[in-house]
Chain A
């Protein structure tokens, strides 16, 4: 029914699609979150608007992309990227805004420039919260990337989707089991990393 080679190829495709979406989202959301955290007044409305994307059902967001971009990897990547933005953006903002003001004042008192403060004080202290946003996004995206098969983006959704079409539980499991393992593994590894990047003084 489905060969190991095919399964390996689909797993690799799935991983590539998910990781590209998350990496793109990190590249956009972390700097944007840093900028937003400089102004609380700007942060709230922007996070609300990005939050609207998150309330869109994933399949709807993906389906919206078909009329706009056709089928293939591009519409899937775009939809997943949009979906991954919010947890990272809001956590970057939350993490930075949550840094104890007295710590920032101490840094300023030591004569640090705003950039030095950001790089050596604020970001390290906020890193755990940011990482937890990245973890949420990654797990979410690995799951929703299965829907990419509906727009022709391949990945482990492919056997699942044909499984539903042909009412073949075997095919559904052939895609479903590896994708579940991938999500669990990502959650576990990023959870470990999250603890590892926590500054020693903040560890409990």
Chain B
């Protein structure tokens, strides 16, 4: 209880800085997801067209995902130094697997009859992708993107080690100085951010599902 009071005093004294860290944290995670979508969605689409590529590409993405975050920061730091770029790159690596896999699943599980109908209507390959495949696949792809967002926000908490700032700097400062209130002042907003992002992305996922595919 005492700790809660200390926390409240601490937060009310330092809230502008904490807010700044929260914004930095969110920006870090979302930038990584942005690049993840930019790279992962095309890869996912390509491996759903050229099925032979699917297994090796997914294997590599899975292996990358397996690298422990604390170690990956160290590896990446050798090349990018102590900078936000290191944090963004590490998080980007982790977003690839869920985004590639969900895009791949989304495209290959589309009903082939729909594609055939679109072809029969004389649509070009690009039109089929844009008007038929993407809208129908979007809901499934969103599952992967949602996972990537939540994971990135969570993992971003340790990216301060690589010089990327964010709420992790508060948590680690609290651990170093054995200040529970500082740990909580960093950890609570990070947790809330992840929970709200999960809820928000869930709502977006439902909203993006074409009406015909929604379950009652």
- Measured CB to CB, the residues of A under 8 A from B are 52, 55-61, 63-64, 66-67, 139, 142-144, 146-147, 150-151, 157, 160-161, 163-164, 167, 169, 172-173, 175-177, 179-180, 183-184, 187
A interface footprint on B162-203 (CB within 8 Å = 1, 0 otherwise): 000000100110110000100110111011001100100000
- For A176, the chain B residues whose CB sits under 8 A away are 68, 70-72, 74-75
Contact: A64 with B3, CB < 8 Å?
no
Q: What is the CB-to-nearest-CB distance from A80 to chain B, in angstroms, rounded to a whole number?
A: 13
Contact: B157 with A59, CB < 8 Å?
yes
Contact: B157 with A180, CB < 8 Å?
no
- Measured CB to CB, the residues of B under 8 A from A are 3, 62-63, 66-72, 74-75, 77-78, 82, 150, 153-158, 161, 168, 171-172, 174-175, 180, 183-184, 186-188, 190-191, 194-195, 198
Contact: B157 with A184, CB < 8 Å?
no
Chain A residue at minimum C-beta to C-beta distance from B175: A150
Contact: B191 with A57, CB < 8 Å?
yes
Q: A169-B77, A184-B66 are in contact. Are A55 and B71 (CB under 8 A)?
A: no
The contact sample of 24 A-B pairs, CB cut-off 8 A, is: A57-B154, A57-B155, A57-B157, A57-B190, A59-B158, A59-B168, A59-B187, A60-B188, A60-B190, A60-B191, A61-B187, A67-B183, A142-B68, A144-B68, A161-B70, A164-B74, A169-B78, A172-B71, A176-B68, A176-B72, A180-B72, A183-B67, A187-B63, A187-B66
Q: What is the CB-to-nearest-CB distance from B72 to chain A, in angstroms, rounded to a whole number?
A: 8
- For A56, the chain B residues whose CB sits under 8 A away are 154, 187, 190-191, 194
- For A147, the chain B residues whose CB sits under 8 A away are 70, 158
A58 to B151, CA, bound (A): 10
Contact: B171 with A146, CB < 8 Å?
no
Contact: A67 with B66, CB < 8 Å?
no
Interface of A is mostly: helix
Contact: A160 with B195, CB < 8 Å?
no
Contact: B153 with A143, CB < 8 Å?
no
Chain A residue at minimum C-beta to C-beta distance from B162: A164
Q: A57-B187, A57-B190, A59-B171 are in contact. Are A143 and B150 (CB under 8 A)?
A: no
